[in-house]
Amino acid sequence: MEFFRIHKDIPFMRHALKFNIISLLTFVAAVFFLFWNGLNLSVEFTGGTLVEVNYTQTADLEKVRGALAKAGHGEVAVQNFGSSHDVLIRLPLKADEPTAKAGEAVMAALDADAPGATLRRVEFVGPQVGKELAENGAMALLLVVIGIVIYLAFRFEWRFSVAAIIANLHDVVIILGFFACFGWEFSLSVLAAVLAVLGYSVNESVVVFDRVRETFKKARGLSTPQVLDHAITRTISRTIITHGSTQMMVLSMLIFGGETLHNFALALTIGICFGIYSSVLVASPLVMWLGVSREQFVKPKRQIEGANEDGAVV
């Protein structure tokens, strides 16, 4: 089997501007949704209590809400979690009562008015922990960005590192945009997925850049866009197969992983799809516009004293 039968280099760079405009529009839309809707942050970040209960029969959400309202828990979010038997109850932090009592209060209220619930899990996060997690998340993102920029600058050239990080950070924003747009819950595991996918799609750019460097070194007389086209065309088969394989694993998590892994897998899926697009079709034009050229890779030949034109020393 061979999926990719490409006769000659596909002129990707001819459409560089179009690709970048598409990605710019997506990016702007993502930023818009981030500001418009905001992220639906999970309890881990905001602080609060989360109670998951299981009913043997289909859970009556109205009854659960009623029971909780009666017990004085006004601002609760009650929803099904995965199946109609599982119910997830979210309680915000109360300023006057920051202790971990809410979980028991909920169970007591349910026992009284909506009996039959068994406790599956309780998560309580205090306000200081939530704030710390958000800060640490931002720090982790920053560290990844700096680390990758330094590594790529060291391994390739600053133009590559700047292009790769711009392309991949725009992926991150787009993932966040999706989560904001659809109101999916942004939890710690989603953050982990975002960071993992960031490292993963940067390696996509690395593979292309490796080829760019190789082509620059080996083939003379090619213009920069031609070199980029060649490098992308040569790696496209690997790109799609690799991402396809990773996506198979992620899809399996999406199908079998249940509710807990659902958003994690979702973030990965978006990240993988946009990762291919941006690391190949956005990063490469950026490199081109930043002015990459053959001279940056080929060391000038050392002149040997007394050498004739053929390079042979007599």
- Which of positions 137-166 make contact with other proteins (CB under 8 A)? 137, 139-141, 143-144, 147-148, 151-152, 155
Contact region for other proteins (CB under 8 A) — 28-36, 56-64, 99-107, 284-292? 99-107
CA-wise closest residue to 159 among 226, 224, 94, 76: 224
Least distance in angstroms from the C-beta of 208 to other proteins: 10
Out of 16, 48, 68, 103, point to the residue binding other proteins (CB under 8 A).
103
Q: Which two tokens stand for residue 176?
A: 């966040």
Among 119, 134, 153, 290, binds other proteins (CB under 8 A): 119
Q: How far is the CB of 13 from other proteins (least distance, A)?
A: 13
Q: Find tokens 């992926």 and name the residue.
A: 171
At its nearest, how many Å lie between other proteins and the CB of residue 203? 3
Residue placing its CB nearer to other proteins in the complex, 299 or 305: 299
Which residue from 5, 299, 301, 302 is in contact with other proteins, where contact means CB under 8 A? Answer: 5
**Considering only 28-36, 87-95, 185-193, 284-292, which stretch makes contact with other proteins by CB under 8 A?**
185-193
Distance of closest approach, residue 200 Cβ to other proteins, in angstroms? 6
Q: Are 135 and 45 in contact (CB under 8 A)?
A: no
Contact positions with other proteins (CB under 8 A) in 32-61: 52, 54
Which of 254, 296, 299 minimizes the C-alpha distance to 273?
254
Q: Which of residues 251-290 bind other proteins (CB under 8 A)?
A: 251-253, 255-258, 260-261, 264, 268
Q: Which residue has the tokens 């009996």?
A: 115
Q: Which stretch binds other proteins (CB under 8 A): 13-21, 30-38, 56-64, 198-206?
A: 198-206
* Nearest distance from C-beta of residue 2 to other proteins, angstroms: 4
- Beta carbon nearer to other proteins, 18 or 120: 120
Phi/psi for 14 (5° steps) reads -65, -30
In the complex, the smallest distance separating the C-beta of residue 196 from other proteins, rounded to whole angstroms, is 6
* Residues sharing a CB contact under 8 Å with residue 152, sequence separation 6 or more, in sequence order: 160, 161, 164, 165, 202, 206, 209
DSSP of 123-140, one letter per residue? EEE-HHHHHHHHHHHHHH
Q: What is the CA radius of gyration of the chain?
A: 26
To 10 degrees, what angle do helices 158-182 and 16-36 make? Answer: 40
Nearer to other proteins, 112 or 143 (CB): 143
Decide: helix, strand or coil at residue 53.
strand
Q: Which residues pair with 53 in a beta bridge?
A: 87, 119
Asked if 189 and 258 count as a contact pair (C-beta separation under 8 A), the reply is no
3-state secondary structure of 298: coil
Q: Is 124 in the site for other proteins (CB under 8 A)?
A: yes
Which residue in this structure is represented by tokens 């942004």?
Answer: 186
For other proteins, which residue of 219, 298, 304, 307 counts as binding (CB under 8 A)? 219
Mark residues 58-87: x for contact with other proteins by CB under 8 A, - for none.
------------------------------
**Binding pattern to other proteins, positions 229-258, x when CB under 8 A?**
-x---x--xx--xx-xxxxxxxxxx-xxxx
Who contacts 71 (Cβ-Cβ below 8 Å, separation ≥6)? Answer: 105, 106, 108, 109, 112, 113
